Amino acid sequence: MPEPLTVRPSTWRALLRPRMLLLLVIALTAAALCARLGLWQWHRALERSAAAERHAVAEVAAAGPVGLGSLVAPQSPMPGDDVGRTVWARGTYEASGQRLVRGRALDGEVGYLVLTPLRVADDGTGGDSWADLSGQPVLAVVRGWVAAPSDAPGLAVPAGEVQVTGWLQSAEATSGQVAPDNPGGPPLTDAIAPSALVNDWGGPIWDGYLVLTASDPAQVAASDGGPAALPRPVIEGGSGLNLQSLFYAIEWAVFALFALAFYVRLARDELAVERGAPAPPGSGGPPVVRPPRGQDAGIAGLPG
């Protein structure tokens, strides 16, 4: 292992020579340019990712409603690509199984989501999606938002068979907490988790839920005290960073570090020569030995 390079304070003047100052300027300029190009590629990676996500969201929004069963069957994992799709189903609400999801905000006000089980009779497959299951499946439907947990008009469900249309969403994870009692209103819950709700609602059940956008017949309107409509849920994830631009950004960062490391190596060589030590291996030049201070080197070929 090479000995550490120690130099006298006066030796550092070697780095102030015009040649070394020029090399320093070149190295800093190259490093700054590479860093700037790396940041540009990084921003391109983010922009392309955002553009791809906006395109995916636009495609999902533009797709018309399809039968729920044509995308996913009950008791089956929810495909990530289908999250946000507009779907429809027909069935009957089971008001006795209604829940309120607490701690949900709308327009800055914290309230409750109205979560109601729909016993599905038609999901666009004529019953084929649950033909091998134990019976008609249940779909968790978020019918809207209410401010109070005992808001009677907001909790009323349409009687008889109803066709619902809305945005398909992935199930939430259970919180593990026990929700408090709700005297005079439906039981409270902290999450829209079909895996837990199936214990009360019975199965089979869809591994996901529907955010209601339309109902036929219609439920009580928000203007008449019914649940307030929810905005379209944000579709997260997208396609991630654009990998090509990300790799280019990493390459430019490496080039910037290389430019600085190259100058440091040259500076070490220069300091080694200045103090009369051999240049580090691979420096590209023969060692230079300077005479001791105060001693005349003499004329080449003649005694000193």
Split at pLDDT 50, 70, 90, the class of 14 is confident
Q: How far is CA 89 from CA 69, 71, 98, in A?
A: 8, 12, 18
Residue type for position 117: P
Assign 281 a pLDDT band (cuts: 50, 70, 90).
Answer: low
Specify the pairing of strand 109-122 against strand 205-216: unpaired
Interatomic CA distance for residues 184 and 187, integer angstroms:
9
What residue ranges in the chain does DSSP mark as E strands? 66-67, 86-93, 99-106, 109-122, 138-146, 161-169, 188-189, 205-216
pLDDT band at residue 280 using 50, 70 and 90 as cut-offs? low
What residues pair up with 116 in beta bridges, in sequence order?
141
Q: At 270, list the tokens.
A: 């220069």
Residue 39 to residue 31: CA distance in whole angstroms: 12
- Res 244: pLDDT: 73
| Mean pLDDT within 132-156 | 89
pLDDT at 139 over 50: yes
pLDDT at residue 302 in the model: 42
Q: Name which of 80, 23, 1 is nearest 269 in CA terms.
A: 23
Judge whether residue 38 has pLDDT over 90: no
Distance CA 71, CA 125 (A): 10
Give the number of other CB atoms < 10 A from CB of residue 169.
20
Distance CA 206, CA 139 (A): 6
Distance CA 127, CA 137 (A): 10
